[in-house]
Amino acid sequence: MKEKTVTIIEAKDVRKVYPLGKVEVEAVKGVSFSIEKGDFISIAGPSGSGKSTILNMIGLIDTPTSGEVYIEGKPISGLSDKQLTTLRHETIGFIFQSFNLIPVLNVYENVEFPLLLGKEKMGKGERKDWIDFLIAEVGLDQWRNHRSNELSGGQRQRVAIARALVGKPAIVMADEPTANLDSQNGEQILELMKKINQDMNTTFIFSTHDAKIVGMADHVIRLRDGLVTENYKTDENIAPVENN
Amino acid sequence: MWEHKAKSLIIGSLLVLGVIVIIVGNAMIDSASDGLRKGYIDSFTGNVMVSGKSEEPFSIFGIESMDMTGDAEIPTIPEFQQVLDRVKADPRVKSVTSMATTYGLLAADIGEDPIADQSTDPENTIFALVFGVDPETYFKTFPAIQITEGRLPNPGEQAVLITKEMREKLVKKYKHEFKIGDKILINGFMGGMRIREVTLVGIYSRGEMSGKSPFILTDIDTVRVLAGLTMSEDENVVLEEGQTSLLSSENPDDIFSDDAFAGDMIDSPVVSSKKVKYDNAANLLGDTSKREQLNATNAGAWHFMLISLNNDLDTAGFIADMNAWAAGENREIRAADWKGASGTAGKMSDFIRIVFIIAILIIAVVVVIIIMNTLVISVIERTAEIGTMRALGAQKGFVRQMFLIETLTQTVFFGILGAVLATLAITVLNAFHIPLANEFAQLLLGGKFMHLVPSFGSFIGTILAVFLVGWLAHLYPVSIALKIQPVKAMQSE
């Protein structure tokens, strides 16, 4: 049984407004929730519900219009771009819908890339061993020297997972990670993510509109029109949380 | 860089071409400077020229001001012998010669008026820049000047040496062969009309600096006469009051009234049976010895002292010492290098270099803009990649550094490639010994064949300039990329 002792992310009345010409669009209308360490959580909802917006804000690549986001208990408002970037680098790994691999790098180099940013925490040998382990873990050992344009969609997403984990982040954010994959590959990716979640106690937060994939999550936050409609943990059978 | 081959090639081609133009262009200009310098020093000016001072600009080729009145004159060197002694005493001096300059029109017939012919028959008007020299020291100071026919003038001889081309002009005009020993007339018009008959004693050549150049060499006294370098120039003439009174009057009646000449004018002729001999008649005019003395040519009048040094590198120091000595002794003389001596002609290569640099700067601005635009397109195409890097934790400085390294790698790579190709082009051009048909080009480039002088300084300077172009060109595109938030950059994928 996983130990879920710490609240790793907390959102308090977070809003996001986008200007569209003279009109303002409120993508997120004031949501509050908390995520604990080791959670395998799905942020679900139809298109336009605000899933990606919330993911971007708690992933520190976008800033809320109002409200506060806490990462490991620290508020992020008032942090400079440099501080946000550093926090993102040290705490969060990303898996994108379109994989977003760097096209000029091969598999090994793509996975290694985050380790080249910021301060070096591992020795060269230790780094190589860790990257080799991750590549093997995602089943791409024979493809390590291939570039992304030589890989299938499923293989690219596996590279993205390995890259997201290489910095040993506390949190991995995955924005519609299976949207560009067929159902078989999508399930395999989710299974892989779940395995890593259980083995490494890494918190996984992924957005999806696929019900089948929602069903694989331990904790679900449902959104509609920028508001939380449900917030529950599947293994504790807790009643859905009413939106405030 | 390799992924975006098309853009890299565009930028690379521009850089390579630019570098070739700069290096080959600089080699041409350096060659021209070197050629001009060598040509003028070896054939006209020596390392150092000493002259008198004047407010009007002048060179060994004459007055260079826009003064159309004809009043401007080249000053003579005051207390010439003392200056000469000072120069000769300097151990840095290899040889020294002296010279004076005037202009003239050549003729063979005393009855013709070559000055009037200028407007009616310009093709047959033979203009000459006349250098009056001391033959013994002049040819020693300029060994590049050779006598190809005839001999040097004898001391005191009214003689002239002309070029082969000048003789051909005379032959063409007068339809007869001019041989050594024939007489030629030089009509001078500086400071008054004067004619001097001289004997053609030789044909000379300045090697590659000859051609259609109108320079003739004469004895110094011929130039002194033609230029009006008389003793009066050095005299402070003091007139008595009676002699100056008419000069101050503005009333014509004062000058032309009968009283003006009272006592001096003979009112009515007196017939005398006494025969008047010339010597008696001459005595009637009174003592004219002073006038004759003032009208005599100044045997010490020289316009220029041309000095050849043992070591070219001593030029600046020698000039500084000479000018300091002149200032210390209140002497109205100046020392100058070959550029100062040759005036506008010598500054030609500087002028060409300035024009070239301006052209290069304009081209550089255009190149920066083209590269910048190409990089902007590249950055826009890569905004998703940049956004991903930023999302993964890359600071702005990392992204900026990445683009800078990419741009500089390109510029340095293509810059060096361009420099290598330029050096190759220069080597090939020199190997082909391309003849310069145009005399101006021959004078400019110091020879009959094109010979470019590549310099290591130009090579390094060009690489650095290309480096700077690349750095400037990358600033704006990267600033665009960094302003985009990571989330927007990823949405553009």
- Residue spans of alpha helices (H) in B393-455: 396-431, 439-445
Look up the ipTM and state it.
Answer: 0.88
Over range B186-208, report the average pLDDT: 83
What is the model's pLDDT at position A244? 43
Please check the confidence at residue B325 and state whether its pLDDT lies above 90.
yes
B388 with A100: Cβ contact below 8 A: yes
What is the model's pLDDT at position B456? 84
Confidence of residue B461 (pLDDT cuts 50, 70, 90): confident
Please check the confidence at residue B90 and state whether its pLDDT lies above 80.
yes
Over range B218-245, report the average pLDDT: 67
Q: What residue type is B69 in one-letter code?
A: T
C-alpha to C-alpha distance for B217 and A202, rounded to whole angstroms: 100
* Percent of chain B surpassing pLDDT 90: 25
Please check the confidence at residue B286 and state whether its pLDDT lies above 70.
no
Confidence of residue B131 (pLDDT cuts 50, 70, 90): very high
> What would the DSSP string read from start to end of A139-188?
T-GGGTT-BGGGS-HHHHHHHHHHHHHTT--SEEEEESTTTTS-HHHHHH
C-alpha to C-alpha distance for B71 and B110, rounded to whole angstroms: 26
Is A62 in CB contact (< 8 Å) with chain B? yes
Maximum distance among all alpha carbons in chain B? 131
C-alpha to C-alpha distance for A189 and B40, rounded to whole angstroms: 84
A–B: how many Cβ contacts below 8 A? 58
Beta carbons of B27 and B67 less than 8 angstroms apart: no
Strands laid side by side in the A66-71 sheet: A23-36, A7-20, A66-71, A74-75
What is the model's pLDDT at position A242? 47
Residue spans per domain, chain A: 7-233
Provide CB contacts within 8 A for B249, sequence distance 6+.
B255
Beta carbons of A154 and A189 less than 8 angstroms apart: yes
Cα distance from B3 to chain A (closest Cα, Å)?
7
B490 with A114: Cβ contact below 8 A: no
What is the model's pLDDT at position B24? 87
pLDDT tens profile B342-361: 988 777 778 888 888 888 88
The region of weakest confidence among A217-226, B402-411, B450-459 is: B450-459
Choosing among A16, A18, A60, A61, which should be mutated to test the B contact, i.e. which has the most B CBs within 10 A? A61
Beta carbons of A55 and A35 less than 8 angstroms apart: no
Q: Which of B190, B212, B197, B176 is nearest to B72 (CA)?
A: B190
Over range B264-271, report the average pLDDT: 45
Over range B80-106, report the average pLDDT: 94
Choosing among A65, A84, A89, which should be mutated to test the B contact, i.e. which has the most B CBs within 10 A? A89
C-alpha to C-alpha distance for B424 and B432, rounded to whole angstroms: 12
Is A46 in CB contact (< 8 Å) with chain B? no
Is A82 in CB contact (< 8 Å) with chain B? yes
Chain A residues with beta carbon closer than 8 angstroms to that of B396? 81-82, 85
The region of weakest confidence among A35-44, A192-201, B243-252, B469-478 is: B243-252
Is B21 in CB contact (< 8 Å) with chain A? no
- CB contacts under 8 A, A 103-162 vs B, are 103-104, 113-114, 117-118
pLDDT tens profile A154-206: 899 999 999 999 998 999 999 888 887 888 888 888 888 888 888 888 999 98
Query: With b meaning 16 or more CB within 10 Å and e meaning fewer, what string describes A166-179?
Result: bbebbbbbbbbbbb
Tell the CATH topology of A7-233: Rossmann fold (3.40.50)
Is B382 in CB contact (< 8 Å) with chain A? no
Nearest-by-CA chain B residue for A54:
B487
Type and span of the H or E element at A13: strand A7-20
What is the model's pLDDT at position B32? 77
